[in-house]
Structure 1
Amino acid sequence: LIQTIGRAARHIEGTVIMYADKVTPAMQTALDETDRRRQIQTEYNQEHGIEPESIKKTISDITDRVKRGAIKEEGADYQGGLEGIPVLELKDIIQELGKQMLVAAENLEFETAAGLRDQIFELRELLALKTNMKPWEKINLLAGNE
């Protein structure tokens, strides 16, 4: 209970609601410990002039982390072996990753979807380089308007 309550407390507007007919000894211990810790933190914050605030991350922070994870998962194939992939196969890979991205977004796995989106963009760039497209065709491809 202490761990769950503490996890919620990390969010600036975190709230824990416990449902029970009566307060058990374990619940009371968790509540007392949480109050004790909150009191210590409040005193420390007042003493040092700290105003609690939520963290702020940009989208690029998240997508960079996801992209690094995708590169680690795919290994050498992802990092360097793409140039040898035939154009038709590259198109199939882009289409498959697009489907995976939509599924990830539907499942609220936004970091995964963002990583897939970035991979798709890189593959589209490679496809644009490998084909003899007119400039406006490349723009449409990179914009996702294949």
Structure 2
Amino acid sequence: TKYMKELGIKVNYLHSEVETLERVSILRDLRLGNFDVLVGINLLREGLDLPEVSLVAILDADKEGFLRSDTALIQTIGRAARNVNGRVIMYADKMTDSMKRAIDETTRRRAKQVKYNEEKGIVPFSITKAIHDLTEEMSAKAVGEMKGEYKVKGKGEMPRNELRQIMHEMEKQMKDAAKNLEFEKAAAMRDELYELKSLLAEDESLKPWERIKLLSGEEE
């Protein structure tokens, strides 16, 4: 980032210590064109719709690992798919199996889309989307599709102390998801957490102020 700034490039840096709301603001500024390049780790994966992004550069693409698996690469590549001029450059010293699978899958999808466009007479164009707040990416449809993954089965018959343990762990995972910009995942967990809190609030032994504190999220 420092090197790019010295070259006169309008650049910003996103890292794990940046608070969630600040991250949202940074990504909004990227869409508005207040700067041109965003540098960071694991930034542009699923859950973010950035139609203004026309180039994704993946450094050390040949370093095998979670962030360079074929799935992660495909998701990162997809961040350029909303722009008609979208391009992806993978920097590497060798072609890894993950890179090859990601390229093959992307090529397959592209060929299928091109064929469909030709058959239907469709001329591709970039998505045009109003810029408000990236928290809008937590669409009802996306969140709804993920809710089932985080439903706690049998919670109605579960001992209250076990429910509290599950809530504590889920809240931690929810914060981690938000920190990693996985907004749909975080929202699905948030909704399930509220259901669990509502269930606990039905406990007749709770005092009124304890019930209010629980539902307001003040209780740890």
User: What TM-score, normalized to structure 1?
Assistant: 0.56
Distance in 1 between residues matched to 2:78 and 2:158, nearest whole Å: 48
Distance in 2 between residues matched to 1:64 and 1:17, nearest whole Å: 28
Cα offsets for 1:16-73 (capped at 9, x unmatched): 587xxxxxxxxxxxxxx9xxx9xx859xxxxxxxxx84269985972453244231x3
Is the CA contact 1:105–1:113 (under 8 Å) kept in the aligned structure 2? Answer: yes
- The one-letter code sitting in structure 1 at the alignment partner of 2:217 is G
Q: Does 1:139 align with 2:216?
A: no
Cα offsets for 1:105-132 (capped at 9, x unmatched): 1111111111111111110000111352
Give the equivalent residue in structure 1 for 2:195.
122
Percent of matched pairs sharing the same residue: 35
> Higher mean Cα deviation, 135-144 or 99-108?
135-144
Return 5+ residue gaps in structure 1 as ranges.
19-32, 43-51
Give the equivalent residue in structure 2 for 1:95.
168
Q: Does 1:54 align with 2:129?
A: yes
**Cα shift at 1:142:** 0.9
Give the equivalent residue in structure 2 for 1:26.
none
**Cα shift at 1:5:** 10
- After superposition, the CA RMSD in angstroms is 4.0
User: What TM-score, normalized to structure 2?
Assistant: 0.39
1:122 counterpart SS class = helix
Cα offsets for 1:85-141 (capped at 9, x unmatched): 101001101100011011111111111111111111110000111352222321211
> Between Structure 1 and Structure 2, which shows a larger proportion of strand residues?
2
Q: Does 1:65 align with 2:65?
A: no
Give the equivalent residue in structure 2 for 1:7.
81
Question: CA 1:9 to 1:135, structure 2 compared with 1: closer, same or farther past 3 Å?
Answer: same
Return 5+ residue gaps in structure 2 as ranges.
1-76, 90-113
Aligned residues: 111
> Between Structure 1 and Structure 2, which shows a larger proportion of helix residues?
1
Distance in 2 between residues matched to 1:5 and 1:65, nearest whole Å: 17
Q: Does 1:82 align with 2:155?
A: yes
- The one-letter code sitting in structure 2 at the alignment partner of 1:66 is V
